[in-house]
Amino acid sequence: MSAPEPIITPTPSIQPVIRSRVLPRISFRMMMAITAVAALLAAITRAAGNGAVFAKAALAALGFFAAFFAIAAFAFLVSWLVARLTIGRVDQSRQGSPFAKDELPPQLLKPREREL
């Protein structure tokens, strides 16, 4: 007969690792990828400064994409601010609302069928 396996219960000294909600977690791979993209962008910028046409076109396209996303972010922030500042300040419930008084609205037209 084999011995029963011991039951392992977590003790107070063992605490789970909780990810930080304040700072983003950036790995070494992510930092290397960001560095590589920055180096590629710097190389294209240098080539554009030396007069390469493809580099100028690439920078123009990148500039248009950056401007588009900046304008979209600005439009979102403006719409968010308008919604945040106006919603909640005005009473949205009407006096004639059937849901405000817990009763049905008055019937304008009587039903055609006879009640059973």
Asked if residue 44 belongs to a domain, the reply is: yes
Q: Assess contact for 45 and 59: CB atoms under 8 A.
A: yes
Asked if residue 81 belongs to a domain, the reply is: yes
As given in the structure block, the two tokens for residue 51 are: 């007069």
pLDDT at residue 38 is higher than 90 = yes
0.85 exceeded by pTM: no
Expressed as residue numbers, the domain containing 43 is: 28-86
Asked if residue 107 belongs to a domain, the reply is: no
Asked if residue 98 belongs to a domain, the reply is: no
Asked if residue 65 belongs to a domain, the reply is: yes
| Res 110: pLDDT | 77
Measured in whole angstroms, the distance separating CA 51 from the mean position of its chain's CA atoms is: 40
Asked if residue 71 belongs to a domain, the reply is: yes
Asked if residue 106 belongs to a domain, the reply is: no
As given in the structure block, the two tokens for residue 29 are: 């791979």
Task: Please report, in angstroms and rounded to a whole number, the separation of the first and last CA atoms in the chain.
Answer: 76
Cα three-residue angle 47-52-56, rounded to 5 degrees? 85
| Total structural domains within the chain | 1
Q: Which residues contact 62 (CB under 8 A, 6 or more apart)?
A: 41
Helix ranges, 1-116 (H): 28-49, 53-86
Asked if residue 93 belongs to a domain, the reply is: no
As given in the structure block, the two tokens for residue 73 are: 């972010």
Average pLDDT of span 25-38: 91
Residue 9 — very low, low, confident or very high, per pLDDT cuts 50/70/90? low
pLDDT, tens only, 85-96? 876 666 655 555
Residue 107 — very low, low, confident or very high, per pLDDT cuts 50/70/90? confident
Q: How far apart are CA 14 and CA 74, in angstroms?
A: 46
